[in-house]
Amino acid sequence: MLASTMKFEIYTLKNGMRVLLAPSSAAESVTVMIMTGTGSRHENKAENGMAHFLEHMLFKGTKKRKTARAISEELDGVGGQFNAFTGKDHTAYYAKVDKRHFQTALEVISDIFLNPTLPATEIEKERGAIIEEINMYEDMPIRSVLNEADKTLFGDDTPMGRTILGPKKNISSFTREEFLAYLNRNYVASNSALCITGSFSKTKALKEARRIFATMRTGDTPVHVPHTHDQKEPRVKVKYKKTDQTHFVLSVPSFPLNHKDEFVAEVLAAVLGGGMSSRLFTEIRDNRGLAYYVKADNDAYDDIGVLYMRAGVANEKTEKAVELVVKEMRKLANTAISTPELKKAKEYLKGTAALSLETTDAQADYIGYAVLVRRSVHGLEEFNRKVDAVTARQIYVVAKKLFTTDKLNLTIVGPHKDEAKFKRLLKI
């Protein structure tokens, strides 16, 4: 089955668009996803928020399906699940349906991607919806602290540091002409992939893909400004907000996609905060009861990575919790981990990866990202091999390299104002 191997076939149309097919006779569903390799980091300051706003607008009507309701009724009429998402480096649109309704999913998703009308009246209405989406996340410190953490590490005024949703000022001013220009510049065949996973006929899918996308717009594949990280001392950003709980993120720059140490950083993050028996969970929650959630993850982009640890703690215990996270980082930079702990972290990563790919929509996302963003095609078996290859010595060397005082970035959202007292804690 696909979930155990993540093997798929890649076809390239004459115009450069990739078609990724991963059929599975065991599935009862099929997902049709179109992904494009553009996101918020491809925007300049004046465009910030446009990729996400445009994602909303593609569901507002096409030449054939005139309204948002017409689109939703067609997919609702077959019990389909449909949505879209925007990241820093990619955007995707998808429909997941009963395998009997593959053609419906393909026709609707391809129509919104290829033929959006972007009605001016709908743009005006959607401004308000997106501004309320921004407000919603601002009122959720567990989410807003992640945006603030990106600003701390990458810089407020960099493509990587800006938010995906963009500032309200931009949302209020985008014009239809600007959306069309962005669409024509970024949604081109060479920068897009059709991903189909689940139960379907490979022959039919490829034939339909060639028919539907033969005349898709073409152009140069867009590129983003490379991120250059220059940090010589620890950084602290405190955003005052009256809350019952303080949320903080402690992050360090790590390794980009396909770097030789990318998977070492993945295992290191699992040792720190992967699961309920990880070091941070054990020390901060189990032993001391300071937090309900505490975790660590490693995110990688094509030119930089970020390893971050985060938690939500009682306001008066924030300093203690930060101290404990720094202490665990210091331990890993000074002492090699044991063989059993290394094995557990590896099995955690492999197990969670397998479970995350049990649905056809997750599989479509995986293969699209592998081709468009990672640009290094490997399935789950290769993922497992890379995880298994990590050694305790590599964990020690990478921890010593990443966990240094000058690389620390602490971001706090809660009822605090004194940055100096937190900066004093940032010593490895």
pLDDT digit string (tens) for 319-345? Answer: 999 999 999 999 999 999 999 999 999
Residue 225 has pLDDT above 70, yes or no: yes
Residue 7: per-residue pLDDT: 78
What integer is the mean pLDDT of 213-235?
A: 93
CA distance 420 to 346: 38
CA distances from 329 to 333, 336, 385 (A): 6, 12, 26
DSSP 151-203: HHHH-TTSTTTS-SS--HHHHTT--HHHHHHHHHHHS-GGGEEEEEEES--HH
CA distance 23 to 284: 44
Q: What is the dihedral of CA 118, 121, 123, 126, to 10 degrees?
A: -130
Q: At what angle do helices 380-388 and 339-356 cross, to 10 degrees?
A: 170
Residue 144: per-residue pLDDT: 98
CATH numeric code, 2-213: 3.30.830.10
Distance of alpha carbon 378 from the chain centroid: 18
Residue 378 has pLDDT above 80, yes or no: no
Residue 244 has pLDDT above 60, yes or no: yes
What integer is the mean pLDDT of 177-193?
A: 97
Residue 271: per-residue pLDDT: 99
Q: Residue 20 is which amino acid?
A: L
6 confidence band (pLDDT: 50, 70, 90): low
Which one is the CATH code of 235-423: 3.30.565.10, 3.90.1200.10, 3.30.830.10, 3.30.9.10? Answer: 3.30.830.10
2-213 and 235-423: identical CATH topology: yes
How big is the CA angle at 150 (ends 38 and 418), to the nearest 5 degrees?
160
Average of per-residue pLDDT values in the chain: 96
Residue 124 has pLDDT above 90, yes or no: yes
Residue 380: per-residue pLDDT: 87
Query: Could you give the percent of the chain with pLDDT greater than 90?
Result: 95
| 102 C-beta neighbours (distance < 10 Å), count | 24
Q: 74-93 burial string, b = 16+ CB within 10 Å, else e? A: bbeebebebebebbbbbbbb
Paired sense of beta strands 81-86 and 245-254, if any: unpaired
- Domain locations along the chain: 2-213, 235-423
CB 342 within 8 A of CB 405: no
> What's the pTM?
0.95
pLDDT digit string (tens) for 272-321? Answer: 999 999 999 999 999 999 999 999 999 999 999 999 999 999 999 999 99
Residue 46: per-residue pLDDT: 97
CA distance 221 to 211: 22
Burial class (CB in 10 A: 0-12, 13-18, 19+), 420: exposed
Phi-psi region of 24 (alpha: psi -120 to 50; beta: other; left: phi over 0): beta
Strand order, beta sheet including 291-300: 235-240, 409-414, 245-254, 305-314, 291-300
3-state secondary structure of 418: coil
Place of tokens 């290769």: 382
Paired sense of beta strands 18-23 and 192-198, if any: parallel
CA distance 3 to 358: 6
Distance of alpha carbon 352 from the chain centroid: 16
Burial class (CB in 10 A: 0-12, 13-18, 19+), 353: middle
CA distance 343 to 351: 12
